[in-house]
Structure 1
Amino acid sequence: MEDSLKIEFEKLKKVLVGESSTSDFLQRLTERFPNEVVFSTSFSYEDQVITHLIKDLNIEIFTLDTGRLFGQTYDTWTSTNAFFQKKVKAYYPDANELKEFVTENGPNSFYQSIEKRKTCCNIRKLHPLRKALQGYKVWITGLRSEHSANRQNIPQFEWDPDNKIIKYHPILHWTSEQVIAYVKAHYLPYNPLHNLGFVSIGCEPCTRAVKEGEDFRAGRWWWEDASKKECGLHIHQ
């Protein structure tokens, strides 16, 4: 199964090189992989744009509810469901795994070491992600190259060897100005934290607003070295 999917990936990659329309390529993916394309959203500016791009396509949407999200994120989730008339499927951490970790280390142990922070991310995000991707062949994401140095050279269409799935980043090369302009032009609901300087919005205890002159990822895990600021959902060497 993995080998045949990788062959399909190579074929489609050649198509994408000459594809002028993101919408056309998204349509092509749903036709080639009916009921096997899924989009992960965190309700960011970028994800709202993609939700709008795929609103009429047969693509399921899911989100990872870590249990530590901002209240504004839950509000945006609600308004997104209403605006698009879609139901975003939720995936949660395993209750027993989370209980054992919090009991052993406390509720905020992620501040104590990178190892404990990554373990927390694994339990709350990576493990639920694996469940969310089961049964799908294409994973659509809202990654943008501007967001971090690690993402500036990634391909728009790639093979994910860890999850054994095709990944497509439709707006990878969009600028922040383009993203915000699209959201406003289509009157899309968005997280009000963006208006307060929050660029990359994750769990509440691990996210702060970005100060003037700081890069996009400065607000995530701000107590850590900049080179280690990834949760593991998207790893690019």
Structure 2
Amino acid sequence: MTKEEIAGLNEQLADSDPVEVIKYFVNKYNDKIALSSSLGAEDQVLTQMLTSVTDSAHIFTLDTGRLFSETYELIDRTSKKYKINLKVYSPQADAVQKMVETKGINLFYDSIENRKECCYNRKLEPLKRAFEGLEAWICGLRADQSVTRTNIQVVEWDENNQVLKINPLAKWSEKDVWDYIKEKGIPYNPLHDKGYPSIGCQPCTRAIMPGEDIRAGRWYWENPDTKECGLHKK
């Protein structure tokens, strides 16, 4: 899709709310669109929205093998509440075993290069499998989440995966997200109530201190401008 077409879609949907955005692309792509969920607050909102507009929602998540127990429990609760088959993609066992044997179980603390290798094996490679047959994916990114996301648009082109990337909550604030969760009774990870606004793998996530950026707890030993795993690299 060209830059002009992307710009046209963003202009067309500029005044649309997230549910309208989701409905537009579900109608356009049918079974060729999916929500990739990390089970974070934003993705839980999108799960509720997506299941409210279609009975055949395609939602998947990535089980890195290093998630919090609370995240696994939320997968089960979410699947039951919304009566969905939340598809789980896992890393290739051989690749993870080779990586761990070569560089250690917690290699990600040693260098950014190691951390990105771990993210590739546990997240990016499974994502490529999840994308097979898709033309568009729905994400929970918001512009005010971090310095790496300030310029995101509602509609973007994911060059790495050659799919259209839809960010229905791009313009929402954190307050918007939590107001919606409370209004709709959406299940969420209890770690959010313990100072974890952004939740990833257990070894790479910590609670944040008052006043810190909401993604300060992700890869907390790195500089802010490197804190992406590659899932949302343009």
Query: Do they superpose with TM above 0.5?
Result: yes
Return the offset for 1:22.
Answer: 2.8
Among 59, 62, 68, which residue is 2:60 paired with? 62
Structure 1 residue 24: deviation in Å? 2.5
1:30 aligns to what?
A: 26
Structure 2: tracts of 5 or more residues without a match = none
d(CA) in 2 for partners of 1:120 and 1:204? 13
Match of 2:150 among 140, 149, 152: 152
Identity %: 43
Q: Please name the residue that 2:123 is paired with.
A: 125
CA contact (8 A) 1:210 1:219 kept: yes
8 Å CA contact 2:10–2:153 kept in 1: the answer is: no
Q: How does 1:106-121 map to 2 (within 5 A)?
A: 106-121=104-119
Partner of 2:41: 45
Instruction: Give CA-to-partner distance per residue, 1:87-116, whole Å, 9 cap, x none.
Output: 110111111111100111111111111111
Q: Which runs of 5+ in 1 are unaligned?
A: none
Aligned twin of 1:204 = 202
- For 1:20, the aligned partner's letter is S
- Preserved CA contact (<8 Å) 1:146 1:216: no
Shift of 1:181: 1.0
Q: Helix, strand or coil: the match of 1:151?
A: coil
8 A contact 2:62–2:126 mirrored in 1: yes
Give the Cα separation in 2 of the matches to 1:26 and 1:121. Answer: 28
Distance 1:44 1:153 in 2: 21
Aligned mates of 2:220, 2:150 — CA distance in 1: 21
What corresponds to 1:72 in structure 2?
A: 70
Q: Flag the 1:21–1:217 CA change in 2: closer, same or farther, 3 A.
A: closer
Match of 1:15 in 2: 12
Aligned match of 2:140 in 137, 142, 149? 142
How far did 1:20 drift? 2.6
- What count of residue pairs does the alignment treat as equivalent? 232
The residue identity in structure 1 corresponding to 2:105 is P
CA distance in 1, matches of 2:156, 2:164: 6
Residue 63 of structure 1 aligns to a residue in which SS?
A: strand
TM-aligned CA distance change 1:212 to 1:10, over 3 Å: closer
Aligned to 1:168: 166
Which residue matches 2:98? 100
The question of whether the paired residues in 2 share the 8 Å contact of 1:79 and 1:189 is answered with yes
Q: Which runs of 4+ in 1 moved over 6 A?
A: 5-8
Looking at structure 2, the residues matched to 232 and 63 of structure 1 have their Cα atoms a distance apart, in angstroms, of 16
SS at 2:48's partner residue? helix
Query: Aligned-pair distance for 1:25?
Result: 2.8
- Deviation at residue 173 of structure 1 after TM alignment: 1.1
